[in-house]
Structure 1
Amino acid sequence: MDFKANQTDQKLRGGYYTPLDLAEFMAKWVTKGDIKKILEPSSGDGNFFQALSRIVRDGEPEIKVTGVELNKEEVEKSRERIKTLNNIQFEILNEDYLEWGLKSQNNNSFDAVIGNPPFIRYQYLPKEYQDRAEKIFDLYNLKFTKHTNAWVPFVVQSFEMLNPGGRLAMILPSELMHVSHAQSLREYLGKNSEKILILDPKELWFEDTLQGALILFAEKKKSAKDKSRGLGIKEITNRSFADDDPHKYFKNINFINGETITGKWTKAVLNKKELELIKEIKCSSEAYQFKEIADASVGIVTGANKYFLINKKDAREFGIEDWSHPMFGRSEHCPKLVYDEDQHNRNIEKELPTEFIWFDVDKFEELGEDAQKYVKKGEDKEYHKRYKCRIRDPWFKVPSVYATEIGMLKRSHNYHRLILNEINAYTTDTAYRIKLKTDSIEPHQLVYNFLNSFTALTAELEGRFYGGGVLELIPSEIKKTYVPIINSSYSDLKELDKKFNSLDPEEVLKQQDEHILKSFGLSKNDRNIIHNAWQKLRDRRQRK
């Protein structure tokens, strides 16, 4: 759990200010044309004011810029800065932007919006700010989730304040393209924009954060009846692009629209040929969407993993070995594709937390003396006061305990893989329990066939990533991946398992493609297209 108490003041304030060269680049785009009024909804210390002043030439029609900033110290800094900027008329308001916007939405309209809104998780916002954020969603009939971030309602409200044909330029987290909580914003922008362009950098722009960022350019439709050109994404390397005219990036871009823009925007990174081939494979009768053949559910939620997951040695010393059961939940537990007795014993030798403690009784008195001591030990450390523990009775009895023949780790570095669970081990909530829905596919078949470039590519398209570039899938995203199923034997899986760690990750997929995708009917050229598309998205995620 990412507790608020553990966060820095900078994170809680969402204050990662924009370098001047990026601010000037964005200013070039929003000041093009007949621009009279510009909004900066999170003006901070005034970097965008400085940028706009540098871009607007003396003698041009006067532009009025309205800045809104909650932090009083930052307002004073920006007011001091604008004293030397005489070619623009500035108004700086010391207010909460969402509150100001809700009060003045019918009385204010702008030709352009520019800025870098705060990146603050909903759970860290004070209650009154949470209420305002939720009101923005309600006001524009957008689906709300408490997993949202402050920048989402900032963008919606800013876009609403644009005049028809107005322009928005914002620096936003890269997760705009793929996280579920931004889906309503993606749909909203797709519906109301004449064109959207994302400049997607390989580098991290902000120090002291692993959060990737991008530049969003969006032009509002002049009329609801207007057709949209759709979404385009341009990958950029280093900061030399900031010296360019941003308008040139709208040329020679593969804008996608219609069904291809629905859902996550990661697919816009791919070219037309790649998208067409993906669609063709998905339509094949031998490519199954995961939800057709299997279910994915979260592993066991203990509420206190350090207490309920211990190593074999500690289980013996505490005298609770009879209450312990084999488990896995980390990549170090499962370095390959099969979790068997040999792997479990190797983990025991390394003193990894291989034992899940399950006190499957309803009353404390039903436990033996050693088990009772262990429960009291947990209470001394106040584990029973943790949320997941205190809402169950008794607190020490973990619910929903069952194992499945297949497991899957929640996160991956290169690509996700399934794990054949041969010893019926339990899995924690860092992994998923996979259960087949059909008798026509054996567990070893699904584990083997899941490992190929096409499945890995669909996982990249459906998943999400955060700082550090690790790919994460939740059950609803796993269900949307595709798996081509061909005949494979248990010995095929065991052979692959033996050599899995000795092969380069890319070589694993290429070898599997040669067997699975070739048998599936894909030519060598098509296999290369799919593999390269996966590699493109993987490298982008890892910022290679």
Structure 2
Amino acid sequence: MKLKKDSTEQKLRGAYYTPQQLATDMVRLFETDDIKSVLEPSCGDGVFLDALSEARLLGKIHSIEAVEIEEDEAKKVRGRYDNAPQVRVFNEDFFDFYKEQLGKKTYDLVLGNPPYIRYQYLQEKQRECQAQILKSHGMKSNKLINAWVAFMVACIQLLSEKGKIAFVIPAEILQVAYAEDLRLYLADNLAKITLITFEQLVFPDIEQEVVVFIGEKGNEEKGIRIIEMKDLSGFDTLNLNSNGFQPMQHVREKWTKYFISKKELDLIQKLKSDNRFSEFSDYGLINIGITT
């Protein structure tokens, strides 16, 4: 068993920084949008701010706010953008920042890579704040839930009326039980959801499969779609305005079902309701045998 005291500082903070190429590719998806305000809730070394600068968007965006809990990192990022008055870097816990801004300010785009921190590695104050965020939006809070879940819920609350969120998150959002409430919450609060998956690992230093989650608020629900890429080169031909959305089911079920077409999904539903077929659960209990 690996104890908390034996874990690296990087793991305790969930500080696995986004590769520059991925940040650049994500920012490029929004470079033609009319975006006036941006939030980066866990800016780390400032890679997403650098991507915005590289895309020459700093002059077009009125307000860019970045939050970073580590003082040294916040100081370095703040120093790089001293000459950009529209960029403000806050050295504080994002959960505290969220409580200060909720109901006062919204953002057209929230983007970044939230920290992947297991419950047992959070401080007691952070656990309480995470539980408050989740429970106040009708979700359960337990010791299995990772910090990135609460980050997503909080950030969606800070979106403007037609705001967008673009996050790098663990691929486990598609199916793990502890994200059931999150999947329902996202379906209920976003008009469009795009999930970009990769065959190859995006983070070179960690064995963590990730997806790029893009959500958009709006009055008309378009649904959900999953775009499968081999690697980051797939961004070169990606058009976020193209169609391919499936109707979203407002349930807690796994999102792996959206990897198949609507026609295939309809067939599965038809088979499930056909009394000529039985389910395995009619004959015995089905449980996971071993987990790591």
| Aligned 8 A contact 1:234 1:249 in 2 | no
Question: Equivalent residue of 1:295, what SS?
Answer: coil
Query: Displacement of 1:123 after TM fit?
Result: 1.6
Query: Displacement of 1:175 after TM fit?
Result: 0.5
- Post-superposition CA distance 1:38-95 (Å, at most 9, x none): 000001111111111122357x5443100000011111221222246x4x71000000
User: Partner amino acid for 1:275?
Assistant: L
| Pairing 1:94–2:85 present | no
Question: Equivalent residue of 2:169, what SS?
Answer: strand
Question: Equivalent residue of 1:25, what SS?
Answer: helix
Q: 1:289-368 alignment to 2 at 5 Å?
A: 289-296=279-286
Which blocks of at least 5 consecutive residues in structure 2 are unaligned?
Answer: none
Coordinate RMSD, CA, aligned: 2.2
Whole-angstrom CA distance in 1 between matches of 2:43 and 2:57: 21
CA gap of 1:19–1:227, structure 2 versus 1, over 3 A, is same
User: Which of structures 1 and 2 has the larger relative contact order (alpha carbons within 8 angstroms, sep 6+)?
Assistant: 2
Question: Equivalent residue of 1:114, what SS?
Answer: strand
Name 1:457's counterpart in structure 2. none
Structure holding more helix per residue: 1
Q: 1:454-473 alignment to 2 at 5 Å?
A: none
Name 1:237's counterpart in structure 2. 230
Whole-angstrom CA distance in 1 between matches of 2:145 and 2:31: 30
Whole-angstrom CA distance in 2 between matches of 1:61 and 1:5: 45
Name 1:68's counterpart in structure 2. 67
CA gap of 1:296–1:240, structure 2 versus 1, over 3 A, is closer
Name 1:265's counterpart in structure 2. 255
Query: Displacement of 1:152 after TM fit?
Result: 0.4
CA gap of 1:293–1:116, structure 2 versus 1, over 3 A, is same
Question: Equivalent residue of 1:172, what SS?
Answer: strand
Query: Displacement of 1:31 after TM fit?
Result: 4.5
| Aligned 8 A contact 1:232 1:254 in 2 | yes
Name 2:77's counterpart in structure 1. 78
Q: 1:89-128 alignment to 2 at 5 Å?
A: 89-128=86-125
CA gap of 1:102–1:237, structure 2 versus 1, over 3 A, is same
Whole-angstrom CA distance in 2 between matches of 1:150 and 1:102: 16
- Post-superposition CA distance 1:352-376 (Å, at most 9, x none): xxxxxxxxxxxxxxxxxxxxxxxxx
| Aligned 8 A contact 1:30 1:167 in 2 | no
Name the count of aligned residue pairs.
292
| Aligned 8 A contact 1:197 1:250 in 2 | no
Q: Find runs of 4+ consecutive structure 1 residues off by over 4 angstroms.
A: none
Query: Displacement of 1:144 after TM fit?
Result: 2.0
| Aligned 8 A contact 2:223 2:245 in 1 | no
CA gap of 1:138–1:262, structure 2 versus 1, over 3 A, is closer
Whole-angstrom CA distance in 1 between matches of 2:247 and 2:7: 38
Question: Equivalent residue of 1:157, what SS?
Answer: helix
Whole-angstrom CA distance in 2 between matches of 1:210 and 1:192: 31
TM-score (norm 2): 0.92
CA gap of 1:296–1:242, structure 2 versus 1, over 3 A, is closer
Query: Displacement of 1:289 after TM fit?
Result: 2.6
User: Percentage identity across aligned positions?
Assistant: 34
Name 2:273's counterpart in structure 1. 283
Whole-angstrom CA distance in 1 between matches of 2:255 and 2:286: 24
Question: Equivalent residue of 1:42, what SS?
Answer: coil
Name 1:50's counterpart in structure 2. 50
TM-score (norm 1): 0.51
| Aligned 8 A contact 2:187 2:249 in 1 | no
CA gap of 1:249–1:112, structure 2 versus 1, over 3 A, is closer
Name 1:324's counterpart in structure 2. none
| Aligned 8 A contact 1:21 1:242 in 2 | no
| Aligned 8 A contact 1:202 1:238 in 2 | yes
Query: Displacement of 1:280 after TM fit?
Result: 2.3
Name 2:247's counterpart in structure 1. 256
User: Partner amino acid for 2:63?
Assistant: K
Which blocks of at least 5 consecutive residues in structure 1 are unaligned?
Answer: 298-408, 412-429, 431-465, 467-544
CA gap of 1:65–1:229, structure 2 versus 1, over 3 A, is same
Name 1:367's counterpart in structure 2. none
Name 2:39's counterpart in structure 1. 39
Query: Displacement of 1:296 after TM fit?
Result: 4.5
Q: 1:375-454 alignment to 2 at 5 Å?
A: 410-411=289-290
Query: Displacement of 1:281 after TM fit?
Result: 2.1
| Aligned 8 A contact 2:223 2:246 in 1 | yes
| Aligned 8 A contact 2:43 2:112 in 1 | yes
User: Partner amino acid for 1:79?
Assistant: R
Query: Displacement of 1:181 after TM fit?
Result: 1.1
Q: 1:466-505 alignment to 2 at 5 Å?
A: none
| Aligned 8 A contact 2:202 2:231 in 1 | no
CA gap of 1:31–1:39, structure 2 versus 1, over 3 A, is farther
Question: Equivalent residue of 2:135, what SS?
Answer: helix
Question: Equivalent residue of 1:288, what SS?
Answer: coil
| Pairing 1:190–2:183 present | no
